[in-house]
Structure 1
């Protein structure tokens, strides 16, 4: 447990436990919601584009099918063709509309409830404290209620408050990567969101927590993934600088870079762990 609190990596002799897939899916769902709301997400840009293309493609395919059916029905006369042309024009406009991000977020939040329902018994068996389960449930309910405000920033704040509980759940499992990296994600996102809300005092407090968590985690790496860790180290300093300057536009840019560097480091650590397993 001390390793989990300090961020120290577990000894290699300790067998790594498998984290429930539902917990990983909860993380992915949270990132997707941030993405559709155009917020600070760990999702790669190409993944975001693929998701948008998939949604648009599905709608356009439905529109094309409707147009084909309409054309076949208009062969009986020019008047029907004119009417069909008007109909298909309206359909094209409808199918080219961008999906409502708030509706997408609501659907994804509903899925979060299902995933949480599935993972609760698993973490309960791992000895999760009652308070931990209650805190996550309360945060999820608050997130769900926030959607009714239709305020994207309030939704993202509630979403990040939910993500704050993720590290404690990961800490229930003995893995080769400390859950401290989840805290780094949380504090990075907090600093970005507070800066975008012009709450510079809280943004500054969040960046201090980020630097503290990162220093703890970086020391535990003991030189591993040096390139990725150096990039992240420098990007955090750059993010801190623009927060001190109260430059919202640069915070968005530097924040995106910081989150991308965290994602790269996490991926690198996971690949290194997988490589060790294959060699055994």
Structure 2
């Protein structure tokens, strides 16, 4: 399930009353009691990372391009989540038959419902977060249908996106926890591959570079290094297909 992507709000749509600059890091907009993180990456938090993921897994050398019109993006997202509900309706009985843990099934369904609500409300940051949570829950129901290391690689992609989302909300401790987990799982995801040690070293190097960027607390640099890690993970998944 691809993580959906949407454009960030325009500055005039996110600025607080009083003329405070909308682009400042960590600034929030409070309206009707809700709080939304004002996004600081160009166009989207996950844009470059998702682009690398799609291009590497497709392997056709074509550049991925997202629609420019915000309403078109939301319409596409709504159609996608509607299809997901239909697919989930078909998949759920199969998961029960395969004796997947009931908690994993209910957690996925809850994440899908949460994503649907965020999309309905046009909640940009909530949609990105909920969509990523859905991919994280996906890795927990994959084992009966996919050989290792696919479920682990899917889980690592979830944690990589979570790093970017945590950084966007200035939660560097949460980002570090996800990165620590990814480092621990390096050999798990590469051990069964041909040239596994070579791929493990490439992934380890990209994770170390991401760690350096995280230490600098530079969102732009973190975004670039995360995209390289995603390229490595997407390549591992492609090798298994």
Fold match by TM threshold 0.5: yes
SS in 2 for 1:179: helix
Structure 2: distance between partners of 1:48 and 1:181: 22
Equivalent residue number for residue 18 of structure 2: none
Equivalent residue number for residue 17 of structure 2: none
Deviations 1:133-181 (A, max 9, x none): 1111111001111123423221111111111111111122362545211
Structure 1: distance between partners of 2:83 and 2:202: 34
Using the TM superposition, give the Cα deviation of residue 36 of structure 1 relative to its aligned residue in structure 2, in angstroms.
7.3
TM-score, with normalisation over the residues of structure 2?
0.72
Change in CA separation of 1:241 and 1:109 when aligned onto 2, cut-off 3 Å:
same
Q: Return 248-257 or 167-176, whichever deviates more.
A: 167-176
Equivalent residue number for residue 175 of structure 2: 203
Which of 43, 46, 56 aligns to 2:54? It is 43
Structure 1 residue runs of 5 or longer lacking an equivalent are: 1-26, 57-96, 271-280
1:191 aligns with 2:207: no
Structure 1: distance between partners of 2:193 and 2:116: 41
Which of 204, 207, 211 aligns to 1:240? It is 211
Alignment of 1:172-191 (within 5 A): 172-173=144-145, 175=147, 177-191=149-163
Aligned residues: 196
Equivalent residue number for residue 134 of structure 1: 106
Structure 1: distance between partners of 2:198 and 2:6: 27
Which structure carries more helix by proportion? 1
Alignment of 1:43-122 (within 5 A): 43-44=54-55, 46=62, 48-49=64-65, 52=67, 100-122=72-94
Structure 2: distance between partners of 1:36 and 1:199: 22
Change in CA separation of 1:149 and 1:251 when aligned onto 2, cut-off 3 Å:
farther
1:145 aligns with 2:156: no
Deviations 1:16-48 (A, max 9, x none): xxxxxxxxxxx2xx33x1377842422118352
- Whether contact under 8 Å (1:163, 1:186) holds in the other structure is yes
Equivalent residue number for residue 39 of structure 2: none
- Determine which structure has more spread, i.e. the larger CA radius of gyration: 1
TM-score, with normalisation over the residues of structure 1?
0.62
1:265 aligns with 2:236: yes
Superposed CA RMSD: 2.5
Structure 2: distance between partners of 1:149 and 1:251: 29
Structure 1: distance between partners of 2:138 and 2:157: 10
Deviations 1:82-118 (A, max 9, x none): xxxxxxxxxxxxxxx5653222212211111111111
Change in CA separation of 1:162 and 1:229 when aligned onto 2, cut-off 3 Å:
same
1:156 aligns with 2:172: no
